[in-house]
Structure 1
């Protein structure tokens, strides 16, 4: 009897397990789906592997596709791909499609689904400028054994000139140039740079690297956060330095030296940009750090301290007062600014601007991108910046802390020099043309300020920090 009961229990348990199946039926695919394409499911049930053969669909004779697998009960989150994130499904307009979700309670479940488009493929949906192109949909990342879409923006005169250009490497490539691939709006990097070029900017090449979807947090931090992941940042940065940059330098007319190479990103992209700039000061001389997620790994502060200043740098940080509880994002940024200064960087090398209306969003980063780019890359093709740097090192502002009046000692006469006074949050509060040494600050409340020094052309040649006390 015991054997019969045990056998019955085993049979029932086996039966329950066998019945724990989900079947996805894809009833229709976009008309431009390549013939013979293999479709895959990628989700939280398989580690978000976009081309896992165990989750490949079988094509049925009627042109539909089917996949049966055995997930654990719970909320299933997933997307469909043709084998890589570069060929992920899109919404009805060919734009970004959020993760699909399905509540699964166990047992057998069959679901009919349709793929509306492949992201970025819908005619007319792209907003990228004509001088933006995709280097490769599946550029191989040997350090991570993954593939990734890589974008490139070329200056408007690239095809008609023989000029070599500086290069800016940027993360979250989906969000930089094209609304069709941007989840929450695009930065409009191409539109901003094209407008600056028309107004006399020398131009820059921008290389956009798509994020890895579910692997984004892992790739954008070399440190592990026990709640969110991380830990692959070293390999990701090595990919940029050892694989991607050599490819770009070999295939495009670049200025490959560190003086002409920058890196920029927002949120977790800001965290990994600062890490890359500090870890590879021999490769990068400028970094744009937008709304950086320093909270993700407090070890980032120690990293800056331990690396210290090895080369001259330009580091442009922004954060919004609407980011984080009680403006925590701004506080974290200002803390990092102090760490950078303690690590040996000059005040003229670091800008930390807070904005009262800034939120953790693409519209904010889009708005602030042109100013950051202009400061980071100002006159990188000329000797003017070297002269300006030497000039600023000899500028003195005293007393500091000061009161209603401070004095500026210039190493040489510059009659067209103008000064702008900013709050620590980046708000312009005063325009001043000093008479050579005296500057009135009457009416400014006690606080920390930045004094920017500008030539007649509008070029900022440096900044000095000033404390005002009354």
Structure 2
């Protein structure tokens, strides 16, 4: 009888954990737009921020109001309203960019949304250039033969580089648009150059940083070594480019320390996923990795690949970081990978940092980068 009661308790707990919450969004006081027949969409963390997802299109009711009704697992979600693409996303009253909306679902919820204006109703005001003088454009069309394309590549050279003959460790980073310059960063920037300039001024260890732009609409495939619902994965080819094309070029033309212990690879979201794959596949090329908010949910086969790679990762340093506000799936998946790599928790070369206020945004990765720098500098 006791066993049966325990079974019932566990069953009820499981049902509660996957319980669906009814969610109704209702648009109010919709501002005018240029569209002759306007269409409105919900884009958020529940549909990978797809701005024209037909399953999340608002429907016009008999009363003239636009609504969406969905069911979601209880949790916290972020979202925005669009008219079908990101150039037509909601904005502030004067066209200013607004942050993501947020809702925490515990019970059936009606969310009334007031859009103030649309971004395309205003002449877009470009942000300022914020890159420091130590950031250079290495090449705007660096050949990526493996993918049959070219890519813009940036390089940050330490303040002492021009006056010194010494060699420097190198950090390779993805999503180059978002690393150094607000002008090119569509969602903000990491501010890597400002962080390292400050560290250098304080006498800290200096690094060269190589930033590789992502491939726009190809990003979800180029940063994934596995096939997914977004198409055939091209991540293996991209990593081959890093190892056999880009790194040899950097080592030949700049004062670098070439060995794995002085070569790191870093990225966030999809960039975190491909960084983990790169280190696991080429542990004698990339000795250290910064895995920020990785999109492991889109690449479950990596767990099996890491189990197979584990015997070769004894000397590598891996820094995982994620925020609680990024959702339960993020925390679950990053912990699953961490447990594979460091099951006892005794390996001080592999650490996991969880921050209660962490979000899937550049400001969070900017803040956490300094601690990662300290980790790889030891």
Deviations 1:147-199 (A, max 9, x none): 11000001110001111000000000000000000011100000001111111
Inter-CA distance 352–231: structure 2 relative to 1 (3 Å threshold): same
Inter-CA distance 176–296: structure 2 relative to 1 (3 Å threshold): same
Flag the structure with larger Rg: 1
Structural mapping, 1:253-402, within 5 Å:
253-311=255-313, 312-324=315-327, 327-342=328-343, 347-378=347-378
How many angstroms apart in 2 are the aligned matches of 1:303 and 1:166? 28
Structural mapping, 1:42-53, within 5 Å:
none
Partner of 1:215: 218
Select 2:238's aligned residue among 221, 227, 236: 236
Structural mapping, 1:156-235, within 5 Å:
156-226=159-229, 228-235=230-237
Deviations 1:198-217 (A, max 9, x none): 11212000000000000000
Judging by fraction of residues, say which structure has more helix.
Answer: 2
SS at match of 2:186: coil
How many angstroms apart in 1 are the aligned matches of 2:374 and 2:203? 12
Is 1:250 aligned to residue 252 of structure 2?
yes
Check whether the contact 2:158–2:197 (CA below 8 A) recurs between aligned residues.
yes
Equivalent pairs, count: 265
Inter-CA distance 345–249: structure 2 relative to 1 (3 Å threshold): farther
Q: CA deviation at 1:78?
A: 9.6
Check whether the contact 1:220–1:230 (CA below 8 A) recurs between aligned residues.
no
Check whether the contact 1:275–1:300 (CA below 8 A) recurs between aligned residues.
yes
Deviations 1:420-466 (A, max 9, x none): xxxxxxxxxxxxxxxxxxxxxxxxxxxxxxxxxxxxxxxxxxxxxxx
How many angstroms apart in 2 are the aligned matches of 1:77 and 1:180? 20
More contact order relative to length (CA 8 Å, sep ≥ 6): 2
How many angstroms apart in 2 are the aligned matches of 1:230 and 1:216? 12
Structure 1 stretches of 4+ with a deviation exceeding 3 A read: 75-79
Q: Structure 1 unaligned runs (5+)? A: 1-43, 45-74, 80-95, 97-112, 379-470
Q: CA deviation at 1:125?
A: 2.4
Q: CA deviation at 1:346?
A: 5.6
Check whether the contact 1:309–1:345 (CA below 8 A) recurs between aligned residues.
no
Check whether the contact 1:320–1:360 (CA below 8 A) recurs between aligned residues.
yes
Check whether the contact 1:163–1:253 (CA below 8 A) recurs between aligned residues.
yes
Check whether the contact 2:297–2:329 (CA below 8 A) recurs between aligned residues.
no
How many angstroms apart in 2 are the aligned matches of 1:260 and 1:197? 17
Q: CA deviation at 1:230?
A: 4.7
How many angstroms apart in 1 are the aligned matches of 2:204 and 2:286? 21
Q: What TM-score results when the alignment is normalised by the length of structure 2?
A: 0.66
User: What do you get for the CA RMSD once the two structures are aligned?
Assistant: 2.6
Check whether the contact 1:135–1:152 (CA below 8 A) recurs between aligned residues.
yes
Check whether the contact 1:217–1:230 (CA below 8 A) recurs between aligned residues.
no
How many angstroms apart in 2 are the aligned matches of 1:176 and 1:317? 18
SS at match of 1:365: helix
Q: CA deviation at 1:309?
A: 3.1
Q: Structure 2 unaligned runs (5+)? A: 1-51, 53-82, 88-96, 98-119
How many angstroms apart in 1 are the aligned matches of 2:170 and 2:338? 25
Check whether the contact 2:205–2:377 (CA below 8 A) recurs between aligned residues.
no
SS at match of 2:256: coil
Partner of 2:129: 126
